[in-house]
Structure 1
C-alpha cells in the first residue's frame, strides 16, 4: 500500500469518526431540549446524579445550547475540510469530484449526522438524555470561557431586540410535574392529592359548594336570643343572614354563630352589636379561587352568593372552601353542644367534647398544628394532665388554662377556659385539685 492510499484511508476513517461525533451532538441537543419542563423540574431532587445533572444543564439551557451548537459546527467544519482533502488526493475528474463531494459532504452528513440521530433522540428523549448528559456537562465546563462570552453577546442582542418575558408553567404542566414527582417519591400520595385539589379550586364555582337558598335560614334584626339559638341548633348553620324586613334578598348583615355563643347572656340581648360590618356579595358563578381571594381581601368569613338577577342564592364561607380543598367538612353539627358561654373577662365555659379546633376558632388562639394528638378539649386536657381527670383539676399551655368544672364517667363534661396575657404560663404545666 502506497503512502497516498494510507493517508486517504486515515482521512476517511477520521471523517466517519467526525460524523459519529456530529450525530452525538445533534442527538444530545434533541433529547435534552425535548424533555418537558415538569420532567426537568422533577429531576432536581432525583436520587440519580445523572438526572440532577440534566436539571443543571437545562436550568442554564442557553449556555448548554451554545455549547452543543459550537461543538456541532466545529465538527461539521472539520468534516467539510477533510472531505475536500480526500477529493483532492483522489484526483478525480471535476464532474465526478462534485458528485462524490456532494454525496459525502452533504447527503451522508445530513442523513447520518443530523436527521437520523435527531429523529431517534426525539423518540427516546428521556432514555438518551441520560447517556448524553455527562459528556455535554463536561464539554460545557471546558468551553465555559468561550460560551460565557458568546452568551453575553447574545444576551445583549436580545436586550436590544426586546427579550420575551418568561412563561410560567401551565396548569397541565404543573399537574404533570406533580405526577412525576409522586412517581419518584418526592411527594407523598396525600401531598400530591392536596396539590391537585388546590388546582381544582380554579375550575369549581361558588354555587357548587355553597349552602343553597332552599336550605338557608335567616333572621330578622328583632329576633330574640332564644330564637337565634334555636335556629342555629336546628339547622347547624354557622352564619345567619340578617334582614330588616323579613326578606332574604334584602339581607344587609351576617351573624356568626360562634360570635353569638361567645357572648354572655346579658350581651346576647344586644346581639346586633356583634354583627359583622356590612355583608359581602359574590356572584355564584365565581370560581372558589377568586371567591377566597375576595373574602380574604374584605376580611370576611362568609359571603352571600348572588345569581345573575341579583337575588340571594346561597351563602358561602371560608370553611366551605377549605373543606372542599381538604376533603373534610367543617360543620357546626360536629359539636356535641353548640353553647359556649362567656362567664367573665377572658373566661368561657366549653363542653368537654367540643373540638380543640372549635375552641381555637372561637377564641382566636394561635396554636401550631399537630401540637396535641387529641382532637377534643377533654382529650387535650387528659394529654396535658397525664391522668384520668377529677373535678377541680386544671392544666395550662401557653397563656391558656383549662379547668375541669364538671367530670362524669372519667371525662370532663364542662370546662372553664381562661385566656391570660401571653407569657403568664409555661408550656404544658399541670395543677391538680387536691394539691
Structure 2
C-alpha cells in the first residue's frame, strides 16, 4: 500500500523486479561465488549453522515429509527413494575429472580417466593375439623345449599339445629351476610343474577381469571366443598398463610394431592394435570397430588393397606398403596437415 501511495499502481511490478534482483545478487550469486572461491573457509562455519538448524527444525521437516509422502502415495507414486539419486554416474564422474583442469596433476588425471575407461574396454581389445603367442608344444623334442625355455623372454608360457587351442597348462619359468637337478628330466616332470590354465571369455570388461585376477590369485588368463577357440592371452600387467601407461619412457621407440621415420611418418605393422597406436602416438583412430590396423584399413576400403594405395582415415594418411597372403603387413602413416579432408582413396 505504501508503494502504491508513493509510486502509483505500477510499483508492485517494479518492487517484484527489484526484490528478485536483490535476492539473486545477495542471496544466490554472491554467496555461491565466495563459497566456490574459498570452500574450506566457508564450509566449516556454515556446517555449524546448518547442524543447529537441522536440530531446531527437525520436527517441522518431519511433519512436512510425512504429509508430502502421504500425498505422493495418494497420487499413485512410490515415495521410496532409489538411493541413487545423489550418486554420480560414470559419465558424470568422468566429466568432473575431465574438467578438474590443473587441480589434479597431469599424470594422476590420466590415470583416473584410464580407470574410468576400464568398464568400456574388454579383454579382446588388449590381448596378445594367438599368432603372437610364444608357447611350448609338449609333443616337441625335449631338447627343443629346453632350448625354448632357456631363451624365453616371458616368465609364464602356455603349454599345449599339437595345437594352441589345446592348452594343457601354464609353465612358470621360476618353477623350472627345481628341475635342473633331476638326472632324467622328462616331459612328465615338466607337465607336473604346469598350473591349470585359466580361461576367460573375450567379452569380459577390464574392470571385471582385474577383480577376477585379484580374487583368483592369477596373473595370466587364456582368452577364448564363443566357440572355445583360443584368441590370445592377457596378463595382469596388461591391465595395469591400461591404467598407468607403458613401463617405458619412449613408447614409439620401444614398440616393435611402430617405427618412427626421419620424415615424421611411422612404419606400422598391420597387426598392430588400434588402441596401442592411439596410446603410443597420441592419435585418435577409430577403435570401436576393428581391433587391428589391418582390420581398420580393410574395413574402410571394403576390399583387400594392393600396395601403394593411400587412404585418409579422418585426418590420418595411411599408405599401404606391403600386402602378403591377403593381409596388410606394413603401413606408412602420418598425421594429415591442419585441414579438413574428405575421406577418399588415392591409387
Give the TM-score category using the shorter length. 0.5 to 0.7
Deviations 1:174-215 (Å, cap 9, x if unpaired)?
1222133343x2x21111011111122222221222111111
What is aligned with 1:214? 131
Q: How many angstroms does 1:316 deviate by?
A: 0.9
Aligned length: 234
Show the 5 A alignment for 1:22-41: 22-25=20-23
CA distance in 1, matches of 2:190, 2:67: 68
Change (3 A) 1:329 1:205: farther
Select the residue among 146, 150, 155 that pairs with 2:60. 150
Change (3 A) 1:156 1:267: farther
What is aligned with 2:119? 202
Change (3 A) 1:21 1:318: same
What is aligned with 2:169? 253
Change (3 A) 1:143 1:325: closer
TM-score w.r.t. structure 2 length? 0.53
Matched, 1:308 2:305: no
Residue segments in structure 2 that go unaligned for 5+ positions in a row: 71-78, 249-253, 255-347
Matched, 1:296 2:214: yes
Q: How many angstroms does 1:304 deviate by?
A: 0.7
Select the residue among 1, 5, 9 that pairs with 2:6. 9
Show the 5 A alignment for 1:169-180: 169-180=88-99
Matched, 1:49 2:38: yes
Show the 5 A alignment for 1:221-370: 221=138, 227-232=144-149, 234=151, 236-243=153-160, 245-260=161-176, 262-263=177-178, 265-266=180-181, 269=185, 270-276=189-195, 278-329=196-247
Residue segments in structure 1 that go unaligned for 5+ positions in a row: 61-136, 335-435
TM-score w.r.t. structure 1 length? 0.43
The structure richer in helix per residue is 1
Report if aligned partners of 2:3, 2:12 keep a CA contact under 8 Å in 1: no
- 1:217 is paired with a residue whose SS is coil
- 2:119 is paired with a residue whose SS is coil
CA distance in 2, matches of 1:155, 1:266: 78
Select the residue among 81, 90, 93 that pairs with 1:163. 81
Aligned-pair Cα RMSD in Å: 4.5
Change (3 A) 1:301 1:142: closer
What is aligned with 1:20? 18
Report if aligned partners of 1:225, 1:271 keep a CA contact under 8 Å in 2: no
